[in-house]
Amino acid sequence: MIAPSILSADFARLADEAAAVEGSDWLHVDVMDAHFVPNLTLGLPVVESLLKATDIPLDCHLMIENPGRWAPPYAEAGAHNVTFHAEATDDPRSVARDIRAAGGKAGLSVKPGTPIEPYLEILKDFDTLLVMSVEPGFGGQSFMPEVLEKARAVRKLVDSGELKLLVEIDGGINTATVEQAAEAGIDCFVAGSAVYGTADPAEAVRSLRTQAAKASPHLTIAN
Annotated catalytic residues are 30, 170
Compute the distance between CA of residue 190 and CA of residue 49 in angstroms, rounded to an integer. 21
Q: Binds 59, which of Zn ion, ligand DX5, none (CB < 5 to 8 A, cut-off by type)?
A: none
Q: Measured over all CA atoms, what is the biggest interatomic distance in the chain, rounded to whole angstroms?
A: 45
Choose which of 25, 65, 98, 170 interacts with Zn ion (CB under 5 A).
170
Q: Which does 141 bind (CB under 5 to 8 A by kind): Zn ion, ligand DX5, none?
A: ligand DX5
Count CA atoms closer than 13 A to 158's CA, side-chain side.
21
CA distance 153 to 78: 31
Per partner kind, with CB cut-offs from 5 to 8 A, the member of Zn ion, ligand DX5, none near residue 129 is: none
| CB closer to Zn ion out of 63 and 102 | 63
Give residue number: closest CB to ligand DX5: 192
DSSP annotation string for 169-190: EESS-STTTHHHHHHTT-SEEE
Burial grade of 44 (CB within 10 A; 0-12, 13-18, 19 or more)? middle
Footprint on this chain of ligand DX5 (rule: CB under 6 A): 5, 7-8, 28, 30, 61, 134, 136-141, 170-173, 190-194
Stretch in the footprint of Zn ion (CB under 5 A) among 14-22, 40-48, 54-62, 147-155:
54-62
